[in-house]
Amino acid sequence: MYLSKNVQYGIAGALAVYIVFFTRPAPAPIVNLLSNPLAQLAVLGAIVYVGATVSLLVALVAAVAVVLSIPAREFMHNKKETMDTKDAVKSALDMPAVTKALEVVDKKVDEKRSNGEPTPAADAIEMKTEAKGSEKFTLSAAPF
């Protein structure tokens, strides 16, 4: 089966409009259809068939539309075992090594403030390297 270029561009344009305006969130009937893994397989198989026989452009844009319409898979069986992000950060900061390192940094910052020295921003701290000549490196310097 052959589609003219104008028809291919029209279908690809319609699919692009769907992607831009209707995939966040996708329409409920499409999400319900694509919630079944066998339906996903059938739709992706149809897209491969369209790409092989009709139009690669239409198949590519349709594949993007289908992938953006597939509902997210989250397999949480026991929600009590999972931690919130705040709990994870809190537990990470409660570790002895991290706590000690934060205390050392706070102590150094307090010493600099008490001496009247300005404290540099974290992204502009110079790295101490054994560079030859007048080269100085920073953590987030632009390469140009």
Q: Which residues pair with 138 in a beta bridge?
A: 126
pTM over 0.75: no
User: Length of the chain, please?
Assistant: 144
pLDDT, one tens digit per residue, over 85-137 is: 666 666 665 677 777 777 888 888 888 888 877 656 655 555 555 555 566 65
In this structure, which amino acid lies at residue 66? V
pLDDT of residue 93: 59
Q: Name the band, by pLDDT with cuts 50, 70 and 90, for residue 45.
A: very high
Coil, helix or strand at residue 11: helix
Alpha-carbon span 24 to 31, nearest angstrom: 11
User: Domain spans of the chain?
Assistant: 5-69, 96-144
Residue 72, both tokens: 């997210």
